[in-house]
Amino acid sequence: MPTPETLAEREIAGRFTLFHAALLLCLMLGREASALMVPFATTTLVDRATCIVEGRVTAVTSHWTDDRSGIFTEVEVAVTDGLLGNTNRVTFAYQGGAVDGVGQRVSDMPEVTAGQQILVFLRKPLPEEAKRLSKGRTPTDRHVLVGAAQGVCRISGGRAVKSGFTVAGDDSEIDRNAGAEELKSRVRQRLRDTRRKGGSL
């Protein structure tokens, strides 16, 4: 079975290829290009993750890169349900955010705010991602999202909802709006099926 790191490399390569294909098509059609992502089923998110948790967002901190060419955001989560990985607190980072009234929106990346209850699928950054994190003055041991915005579910009213991304092709396998407990049950079942040990908080 491929390792999460190998799968993550394939994820980046797939996103790169799809993005450039979409860009070329849009240029040919004379329209503005928008990023397209490979659709990830929940089983794919689970297989590529090294940490899966539900929790409350306790802090969101954004800052400029050293050369002020972009913004990175770090999100701290107090874990209430650890599905994969034994930890009571986790921090992940993504590109984009707002600093001193200046905002940067990066296509297919989420927008997370303090106080939200979220379920996230996380992995350790690949070397090239760690290099970008370092440029962004972000510790390279931070987690990153599996599938960008596809790896974040906002939990409210018993529902787990995803938004903020566009995929190429059939998106019927994506759990965009699912019952939170039902979704977590499917995550745990996939972990059992692949003989991966879940968290226990």
- Give the whole-angstrom CA distance, residue 84 versus residue 42: 14
The token pair at 101 is: 């009234």
Contact of 198 with 191, CB cutoff 8 Å? yes
Contact of 174 with 183, CB cutoff 8 Å? no
Ordered per-residue pLDDT tens for the chain, 201 residues:
666 666 666 665 555 455 444 433 333 333 333 467 899 999 999 999 999 999 999 999 999 988 888 899 999 999 999 999 989 999 999 999 999 888 888 888 998 999 999 999 999 998 888 888 887 777 777 899 999 999 999 999 999 999 989 888 888 889 999 999 999 999 999 999 999 976 644
The pLDDT value recorded for residue 128 is 87
In Å, how far are 47, 104, 109, 135, 198 from 50, measured between CA atoms? 8, 28, 19, 24, 10
Residue 61 parent element (H or E): strand 51-64
Strand partners, 161: 154, 177
In Å, how far are 36, 124, 130, 192 from 9, measured between CA atoms? 17, 12, 13, 24
The pLDDT value recorded for residue 201 is 42
Domains of the chain: 39-193 (2.40.50.120)
* Contact partners, residue 90, CB within 8 Å, separation at least 6: 51, 53, 55, 76, 77, 79, 120, 122, 143
